Amino acid sequence: MKMVLIGAPAAGKGTQAARLVKHYGIAHISTGDMLREEVAKGTELGNEAKSIMAVGGLVSDELIIAIVKERIKKDDCKKGFILDGFPRTVVQAEKLKEMVELDKVVYINAPDDVMLQRLTARQTCPKCGATYNKLFLPSKTEDICDVCGEKLTQRKDDTAEAGQKRLDTFHEQSEPLVGFYTKEGILFEVDGTQDIDEITKEIIKGLDA
């Protein structure tokens, strides 16, 4: 299974990917998570990406394509993978097409106001990567990760201002991917406003069809 999850910021890509990798036993490749790791380590790449990510822009196609090209060569991708947050431009999609043959592309669709509400309430665990939501998926103990007990943090780009900019960037640069993959005949859309479990069920049904 080689698949892509497309969706605006906070559409639920990471949440669904975490469930799907367990179900299918495949690798999860989140370009956003990979970039945040580089930022945390203070590498050259991280320093280059940091300011762009903070204001909700996109890092260069060239850079991100090179990262993904290396990542999908790793052993854990042999059984398949879920790309979460890549491609994000038609240029990236065209390059990906040269690298692999995709089975399916899932578009998680939800209105902007829903996504803005979700992203400003998101909390993440800096240690194990678990994701929570103060409104929709709270941790059992406030601000503490259920899985590993670490104190939860908020992403720097999860403010109303950066969130709106990320949504605008999605509509301008990433939404054309829906048309691109519809033409390729491999896209299906799910309603991202449903419950998390309902969305997972619908995606699995679509992937196994």
Calpha distance 6→17 (Å, rounded): 11
The residue within the footprint of ligand AP5, chosen from 26, 105, 118, 181 (CB under 6 A), is 118
Catalytic residue among 13, 36, 104, 118: 13
- Please count the other Cβ atoms lying within 10 Å of the Cβ belonging to residue 206: 14
* Beta carbon of residue 123, minimum distance to ligand AP5 (angstroms, whole number): 7
> Phi first, then psi: what are they for 97, rounded to 5°?
-60, -35
Shorter beta-carbon distance to Mg ion: residue 12 or 180: 12
Calpha distance 45→63 (Å, rounded): 9
Calpha distance 182→159 (Å, rounded): 32
Q: Which two tokens stand for residue 137?
A: 């998926």
163's contact among ligand AP5, Mg ion, none, with CB below 5 to 8 A by partner kind, is none
Calpha distance 14→148 (Å, rounded): 18
The residue within the footprint of ligand AP5, chosen from 2, 3, 15, 102 (CB under 6 A), is 15
Shorter beta-carbon distance to ligand AP5: residue 58 or 82: 58
**Could you tell me which of 29, 16, 185, 21 has the C-alpha nearest to residue 103?**
185
* Beta carbon of residue 209, minimum distance to Mg ion (angstroms, whole number): 25
- Strand residues in 52-168 grouped as ranges (E): 81-84, 104-109, 122-124, 131-133
Site for Mg ion in 3-62 (CB under 5 A): 14
Q: If binding is defined by CB under 6 A, does position 200 make contact with ligand AP5?
A: no
Amino acid at 124: T
| Piece of 19-27, 57-65, 69-77, 140-148 that binds ligand AP5 (CB under 6 A) | 57-65
Helical packing angle, 13-24 and 196-208, nearest 10°: 50
7's contact among ligand AP5, Mg ion, none, with CB below 5 to 8 A by partner kind, is ligand AP5
Interface contacts to ligand AP5, rule CB under 6 A: 7, 9-15, 31-32, 35, 52-53, 56-59, 64, 85-86, 88, 92, 118-119, 122, 131-133, 136-137, 166, 196, 199
Q: Which residues are known to be catalytic?
A: 13, 88, 122, 155, 166
